[in-house]
Structure 1
């Protein structure tokens, strides 16, 4: 690296370690690094990367500022560092296909550049490209010798990439290997939790998360997502009071320092909205929990940086009866869909029709919801999100089809679900009733 001192290099490593392990103080670590060396090119790049990783349109100016400082500092930087600057510029400008290609090129030349590797994993996931996640991690892992710092993070990514590609044995083994290296590895725990969700190992999943929870101290919002996963296990067991308790004290936990820092962070919104929606499909009274989400949704109209979050914002607006705001939200999606960048295509083909289907479903226009959503089903995974996260959209379609009396559409979705989950649809809470319609 090109930096002013060994102290600056150590501070940068500390910041990258914070990112890899989902530490709440990662931004403070980056700030401390720049205090040691204000002209540190890669530190400015890291600040820009982390700013954009929040998927919040309001923070893009700060990322542009970081990019400008990185460019100034890159005059004497190495080719690898300059490649990172170019990647940051592609991300700022929304050129996401180019972004992934630039990180792939860095990793091909420098297989242990864990920052390029991990950011590629992150963004490929949110673009619905598990095949790229898997290809990069399998090509990279042989370069990570036993004992090399960062190996656990690579193993955790290997676990999740394999899980999303249906390779559950490899996924679980890699995840457990990473957990053995660090019981506080939240991403590795997350990957194993996904395996258990897909395989219907609910009791085992609850025990896994309960036993590892003490190691999550100092973690950021991703630990909320682990509580959400635990909530999914309890939901399948029809333990609705436990789910609501996890919502209030775990993965939403209003008033906690983490939520106060980023009250509308994409992953927290997805956790909350998708769980409330699932509960309501089961006839559970969720009280006024939708209101604070809807308040925040109104403030994010026109912000489409994370396409998968968009139907979740719409759920909050619909379930609080804010139909005028919902129409404005759709207008914002239409404006975004008119663009030419990567996200515009995702919004146009998937986020817009699915969000419109959420609105139609909420208004009781079930056949309309089915017609809106059906053409998007085949490529819906391109919105990003895991199988477990996308499942709420599949439940939406199934419920609409069942209420519209469209047995053919119900059957189509049940076949789709059966092809992905080892657990039969009739043994999953979101599909039991619909399965009886076509039995």
Structure 2
């Protein structure tokens, strides 16, 4: 019998394969660019290891790309045909639920796995990921606090658990706990991107913008070999600059860091959901401030049009709409809404999120672009309380709140503007008057 680095029993053929599994898990937890190659090495070391196929399926699902569902299902079928222990079979059940469009069931299975095996990092981290993108930070906090007693600093992966503790508590407003855990994780490993990211969120929510810029600048030299989470950290850097009204600095980061337009590589820039959200939300925020962004919307719009009908990532839908409307692709914008309406007719948990949150938000973005601000407010107002179900952090969700408050001002709806300001004040200790997206509204209604 073989075990992973956390002491969980593995169905693998050799100690070499067990070490390859640990290497792949470490890459996944630490957001390393070569994680796919690490998984390939594990599969090569032991093609009959069931968790190798499970990981292949889960990694395909992590992309929230409908085109990869077949790959995930194929990996699951291979896993199910292999001998496996009960924990590994539970992982197969979770992947099956995720593929079938019931990620809420997958969350429950991962919770069951970690209840029995608190050091199962694959189950823990997949749960953390999916709970976040389902707008369930309460479940993120509950799970991390349940597993913490089973961990110690001398166990491999402890820093990654601390990093998740940081982000989970940040998203539920426990900033002191969050920052302490994140800084602990970075002290253990300065290259821990998820921990750096969690602390950046704390600094964003508390309005500590200069500290945020220093935090990212100090850690950036450690990020060589990281994956696209680096783009999101640079997006955070741009968010701090946005609040400082350094719009030229924001565009420089857009072009040289998180969208990398100045490189020939930008022509093949991925349409991965988080990269799209980074880019579209930043251009949209700049547009609200009257900053000209040139032709930057074009490549995003091309990717948006190619992905119409792929509704796996609910939060990405209004971002696709931002790109389509910014480039005048009204016919494509109509098709996006039609496809979203069709997907929202289902009777699944995800369909309800599309129906009750993604669709109103995406319609509101389209109305806003057309100057139909009264209709934008009417579309989005009933959904405001449920926007968190789209997934995304408070910092990311803020762009949809800005759609609402901007339309409220332009439609002459001071009551709705005040509503937006009250929501902003409840989410962050920073007064709306000190936040660039809400300052104009605060002055207008005397908030």
For the superposition of Structure 1 and Structure 2, which TM-score range results when normalised by the shorter chain? over 0.9
Counterparts of 1:314-329 in structure 2, within 5 Å, are 314-329=321-336
Gaps in structure 1 of 5+ consecutive residues: none
User: What is the total number of aligned residue pairs between the two structures?
Assistant: 437
The DSSP-based 3-state class of the residue aligned with 1:307 is: coil
- The residue aligned with 2:75 is 66
Please tell me whether the aligned partners of residues 256 and 262 of structure 2 are also in contact (alpha carbons under 8 angstroms): no
For 1:108 and 1:359, how far apart are their aligned partners in 2? 44
- The residue aligned with 1:9 is 18
Q: Which runs of 4+ in 1 moved over 2 A?
A: 254-262
- The residue aligned with 1:429 is 436
Gap change, CA 1:260 and 1:95, over 3 Å in 2:
farther
The DSSP-based 3-state class of the residue aligned with 1:218 is: coil
Query: Which among 214, 218, 223 is matched to residue 221 of structure 2?
Result: 214
For 1:112 and 1:256, how far apart are their aligned partners in 2? 41
Gap change, CA 1:255 and 1:299, over 3 Å in 2:
farther
Deviation at 1:254, TM superposition (A): 3.8
For 1:197 and 1:264, how far apart are their aligned partners in 2? 25
Gap change, CA 1:187 and 1:257, over 3 Å in 2:
farther
How does the TM-score come out when normalised to structure 1? 0.98
Please tell me whether the aligned partners of residues 120 and 133 of structure 1 are also in contact (alpha carbons under 8 angstroms): yes
Deviation at 1:35, TM superposition (A): 1.0
Please tell me whether the aligned partners of residues 254 and 261 of structure 2 are also in contact (alpha carbons under 8 angstroms): no
Deviation at 1:159, TM superposition (A): 0.4
- The residue aligned with 2:317 is 310
Deviation at 1:32, TM superposition (A): 1.2
The DSSP-based 3-state class of the residue aligned with 1:405 is: coil
- The residue aligned with 1:42 is 51
Counterparts of 1:84-233 in structure 2, within 5 Å, are 84-233=91-240
- The residue aligned with 1:277 is 284
For 1:358 and 1:343, how far apart are their aligned partners in 2? 21
Gap change, CA 1:256 and 1:82, over 3 Å in 2:
farther
Please tell me whether the aligned partners of residues 425 and 432 of structure 1 are also in contact (alpha carbons under 8 angstroms): yes
CA deviations on 1:298-322 (whole Å, 9 max, x unpaired) are 0110101110111000000010010
For 2:327 and 2:265, how far apart are their aligned partners in 1? 25
Query: Which among 267, 271, 275 is matched to residue 264 of structure 1?
Result: 271
How does the TM-score come out when normalised to structure 2? 0.96
For 2:331 and 2:372, how far apart are their aligned partners in 1? 17
Gap change, CA 1:409 and 1:342, over 3 Å in 2:
same
For 1:395 and 1:326, how far apart are their aligned partners in 2? 20
CA deviations on 1:338-395 (whole Å, 9 max, x unpaired) are 1122221110001011101100000000000000000100111010000000000000
For 1:303 and 1:128, how far apart are their aligned partners in 2? 19
